[in-house]
Amino acid sequence: MTTQLGGPPPVEPAGGMDAAVGAFAAPADSLPAPGTLEGRPKSLFRLGFEVFVQNRLAIVGLVVVALAILFCFVGPLIYPTDQVTVDLTSANLPPGSGHPLGTDGSGYDVVGRLMVGGQTSLIVGLAAAAIATVVGTVWGAIAGFFGGVVDGIMMRIVDAILAIPILFLLLFLVTIVRPSLPVMIFVIGLTAWLVPARLVRGESLTLRVREYVQAVRVMGGSSWRSVTRHIMPNVIGTVIVNATFQVADAILLVAYLGYLGLGISPPATDWGAMLSNGTQYVFLNYWWLIYPAGFAIIIVVVAVNLVGDGLRDSVEVRLQRR
Amino acid sequence: MVGYIIRRLLQSVLVVLVVTVIVFILLHSLPGGPARAILGPRATPGQITQFNSENGLDRPLVVQYFTSVFGWFTGNFGFSYVLNQSVGSLLAERLPKTIILAALSLVLTVIVAIPVGVYQAVRRNRIFDYVATGLSFIFYAAPTFFLGLILIEIFSSWLGWFPPEAPQSDGVVPIFQQFPGMILPIVTLALLSIAGFSRYMRSSVLDNVSQDYVRTARAKGASPTRVLWRHVLRNALIPIITLLGLSLPALFAGALITESIFNFPGMGLLFWQAAQQSDYPVELGVVIVTAFATVIGNLLADVGLAAIDPRVTL
């Protein structure tokens, strides 16, 4: 067996379980130069942006997400379908003229159904990730800023909720409150803030003792200044990267709830619920009721993850140069 | 080392206590309180008062909290009025099945993911690496139920190799007697963690390959194969221990979905059916048990890590 171990140590983006993925789109030696001797050096934001743009997979991900948003929100204007009236005379039609992907058990056009379901998945995914990120950031920042007993108690609460599988907590909450769109956003957002809380707390703990933050203090800068001008800009990258992965997770959670029959009520739907309805016919080979929704979930989640990986690579470039 | 274990143990006890507080809050945040939730919306005020005094729900909240916690630690999780059975006996019947499913799928995960991750790292940016990376991205993004359905389509409907339903009979022994029925559930549950673990293993090996000790070993004249197996792999496996502990909640959640696809009568299926029928005592019992299991799993992973890696200090 030949190995590459004898060669020079490979240049590798640090850390993270998918960190190395960016490597094949943006090799480390083609990174933009941090600046020239003449003129202003490029800002760190600009630098990160250039790395992101060079990452072809991340751009593909971004384009796919944009297309998915267009499909779900603009699609119904171009391709209007009736998603309210049940029409059993045209139930379970195979794909053909008039219905490119057939119809489901209630006679709804599957393409139109994908659009409506995608609206739920995307709205809940984005909004829940936003809630989770804000709550988690505030929680983690407070714990990290005060430290000591406050930090200990706040983080044990995070540990305790993390010990309960999020799906179990979510299922319990939706048996108390029957889910509508705002309830779903709220419930998923309030169960998903733990990871950002941990991240922000850890970052602020390490940043607090960094040389440049101490330098601000030595030069007489207030703690407000060091937080807003020096700590925040450095934490924000990590938070944004994590928010991206939160979107992907939230889209999957919506699908799981829908699949388990505890998601949003009909005639509204989401991709998981569509798939769940399709499974009744799995032995009749009504493939158009299963695969379109399933692949829609996979494609969007993969795309969001690719964007997240690209963002992480560009944030790491910023961190290396600071 | 001993100090570390004691501190970590105290931390876990604290987390368990917070879990009990959270579950207690959940129980009392039910609409109309536990009595209304269990007796249903048609219960008369008289019935509710009677239920409350019978079950000690009219005592001060602090007293109730301590009696509940005492009950949970002694295996008394209340009574399922839907299934007319104590939650403790339901859990005793269902929990071993879920443990078997989860443990077997973890074994499969480790057997597959570690070699794949190592091989990806060794042959970085070759075709195998790209294919494995692409597949792990897809498996990571695919909902478990969709993967399970595809596996049923291929291996049950089309090839007819495995039954589409898990063994149904009571007890643990029949699971092994009807093992073909367990293969698809185990694989379904393992695919997601294989995707995560192999990515982790890949970057862990890559991190270690660029370390100084690898160059030293090579300079001493150790062959690349020996360096990989004797030096790199030992260090690269360390983070996997932590990952095993951290992956427990996801494993339980995955087991819930897997059990619902293959109709495997484990704890996840119990929870799902309880959720559909608003059977709160069962739901809370399952939540407590999984949370305790997760805390213990994390503790074992951290202690194991401290035992293996002398550099760990916290």
| Interface predicted TM-score of the whole assembly (ipTM), two decimals | 0.81
Mean predicted confidence (pLDDT) in B211-235: 84
pLDDT over 70 (residue B229): yes
Kindly report, residue by residue over A61-106, the tens digit of the pLDDT.
888 888 988 888 887 788 777 776 776 776 666 777 677 777 776 7
CA B130 to chain centre: 29
Q: Which one is predicted more confidently, A18 or A157? A: A157
Mean predicted confidence (pLDDT) in B271-297: 84
pLDDT at A12: 36
pLDDT over 50 (residue B33): yes
pLDDT at A92: 67
pLDDT at A91: 67
Max CA pair span of chain A: 78
Strand, coil or helix: what is B80? strand
Q: How confident is the model at residue B32 (pLDDT cuts 50, 70, 90)?
A: low
> Among A18-22, A132-136, B299-303, where is mean pLDDT lowest?
A18-22
Q: Which of A146, A129, A161, A98 is nearest to A308 (CA)?
A: A129
Q: Which residue has the tokens 């979905």?
A: B257
Among the four given CATH numbers 3.30.70, 1.20.58, 1.10.3470, 1.10.3720, the one describing domain B96-205+239-308: 1.10.3720
pLDDT at B312: 62
Q: How confident is the model at residue A21 (pLDDT cuts 50, 70, 90)?
A: very low
B293 to chain A: nearest residue by CA?
A163
A3 vs B224: CB contact, 8 Å cut-off? yes
Strand, coil or helix: what is B55? coil
pLDDT at A222: 76
Q: How far apart are CA B133 and CA B124, in angstroms?
A: 10
Contact between residue A94 and residue A102 where contact means Cβ atoms under 8 Å apart: yes
Helical residues (DSSP H) of A260-290, grouped into ranges: 271-278
Which site among B137, B189, B211 would you substitute to test the A interface, given the most A Cβ atoms closer than 10 Å to its Cβ? Answer: B137
B249 vs A165: CB contact, 8 Å cut-off? yes
Q: Which one is predicted more confidently, B204 or B59? A: B204
pLDDT over 80 (residue A202): yes
The DSSP line for A187-223 is: HHHHHS-HHHHHHHHHHHHHHHTSHHHHHHHHTT--H
A294 vs B142: CB contact, 8 Å cut-off? yes
pLDDT over 50 (residue A120): yes
Q: How far apart are CA A183 and CA A267, in angstroms?
A: 17
Asked if residue A95 has a cis previous peptide bond (ω within 30° of 0), the answer is no
Residue B19 burial (C-beta neighbours within 10 Å; 0-12, 13-18, 19+): buried
pLDDT over 80 (residue B27): no
Contact between residue B268 and residue B101 where contact means Cβ atoms under 8 Å apart: no
The rounded mean pLDDT for chain A is 76
Q: Output the CA angle B254-B259-B260, nearest 5 degrees.
A: 100
pLDDT at A127: 92
How far B261 CA lies from chain A's nearest CA (Å)?
10
Take residue B241 and report the two structure tokens written for it: 């221990």
A173 to chain B: nearest residue by CA?
B26
B125 vs A24: CB contact, 8 Å cut-off? yes
Residue B61 burial (C-beta neighbours within 10 Å; 0-12, 13-18, 19+): exposed
pLDDT at A131: 92
Question: In chain B, pLDDT over 70 holds for what percent of residues?
Answer: 96
Q: How far apart are CA B23 and CA B35, in angstroms?
A: 16
**β-strand partners of B85:** B80
At residue A238, what are phi and psi to the nearest 5 degrees?
A: -60, -40
pLDDT over 80 (residue A282): no
Strand, coil or helix: what is B221? coil
Q: Where along chain B do its domains lie?
A: 96-205+239-308
pLDDT at A20: 39
pLDDT at A182: 85
pTM: 0.80
Which positions in chain B touch A260 (Cβ < 8 Å)?
257, 260, 272, 275
Select the residue of A3, A160, A168 nearest B271 (Cβ to Cβ).
A168
Neighbours of A24 (CB within 10 A): 15
Kindly report, residue by residue over B137-161, the tens digit of the pLDDT.
888 888 888 888 888 888 877 787 8
pLDDT at A8: 35
A176 to chain B: nearest residue by CA?
B30
pLDDT at A317: 64
Select the residue of A21, A169, A176 nearest B30 (Cβ to Cβ).
A176
Q: Within 13 Å of residue A253, how many CA atoms lie on the same side as its CB?
A: 30
Sign (positive/negative) of CA torsion B296, B71, B255, A243?
negative
pLDDT over 50 (residue A153): yes
Contact between residue B162 and residue B184 where contact means Cβ atoms under 8 Å apart: yes
Q: Which one is predicted more confidently, B291 or A267? A: B291
- Map A68-109 to HEC letters: HHHHHHCHHHHCCCCCCCCCHHHCCCCCECCECCCECCCCCE
pLDDT over 80 (residue A55): no
Contact between residue A262 and residue A133 where contact means Cβ atoms under 8 Å apart: no
The rounded mean pLDDT for chain B is 82
Sign (positive/negative) of CA torsion A155, A160, A163, A168?
negative
Chain A interface includes B149 (CB < 8 A): yes
Q: How far apart are CA A52 and CA A74, in angstroms?
A: 27
Select the residue of A17, A23, A260 nearest B272 (Cβ to Cβ).
A260
> Among A6-15, B188-197, B267-276, where is mean pLDDT lowest?
A6-15
Q: How confident is the model at residue A39 (pLDDT cuts 50, 70, 90)?
A: low
Q: Which of A168, A159, A264, A197 is nearest to B26 (CA)?
A: A168
Residue type for position B87: V
Give all strands (DSSP E) within chain A, no chain letters: none
pLDDT over 70 (residue B300): yes
Q: Which one is predicted more confidently, A11 or A218? A: A218
pLDDT at B108: 92
Mean predicted confidence (pLDDT) in B115-135: 85
pLDDT over 80 (residue B175): no
